[in-house]
């Protein structure tokens, strides 16, 4: 595995674990309601609201890119980065997509 692919793998792992630590902690303290997380935590102040919109736009853009690239390359395995993006975050979905896209298609 190339150094670049190792970096993508490490970033995928970090981008999965780090956000989940905070998500799980929040859910443990506030209940396991995704609706409450969206309405309360994601819009707690103007900074978090801005970050929410920033990441939502990035996730939608990444999704469109993954779909188009998968169709052009006829390589559909990287589509698994889409649910990773929405279930965990862009911090997981983007490096996962880059890791999968950079593999050999032999």
Which pLDDT score is estimated for 104?
Answer: 82
Could you tell me the residue ranges of all domains in the chain?
Answer: 3-101
- Higher-confidence residue: 105 or 77? 77
Position 105 pLDDT exceeds 80: no
Which pLDDT score is estimated for 106?
Answer: 60
Position 83 pLDDT exceeds 70: yes
* Distance from C-alpha of 53 to C-alpha of 50, rounded to nearest angstrom: 5
Q: Are 96 and 80 in contact (CB under 8 A)?
A: yes
pLDDT one-digit tens code per residue, 37-47:
888 888 899 99
Encoding tokens for residue 32?
């396991």
Position 82 pLDDT exceeds 80: yes
23 sits in which H/E element: helix 3-30
């Amino acid at each position: 595995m190339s150094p670049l692919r190792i970096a993508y793998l490490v970033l995928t792992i970090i981008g999965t674990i780090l956000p989940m630590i905070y998500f799980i902690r929040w859910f443990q303290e506030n209940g396991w309601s995704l609706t409450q997380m969206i309405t309360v935590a994601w819009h707690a102040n103007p900074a978090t609201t801005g970050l929410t919109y920033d990441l939502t736009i990035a996730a939608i853009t990444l999704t469109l890119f993954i779909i188009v690239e998968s169709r052009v390359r006829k390589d559909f395995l990287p589509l698994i980065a889409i649910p990773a993006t929405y279930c965990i975050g862009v911090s997981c979905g983007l490096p996962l997509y880059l890791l999968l896209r950079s593999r050999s298609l032999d």
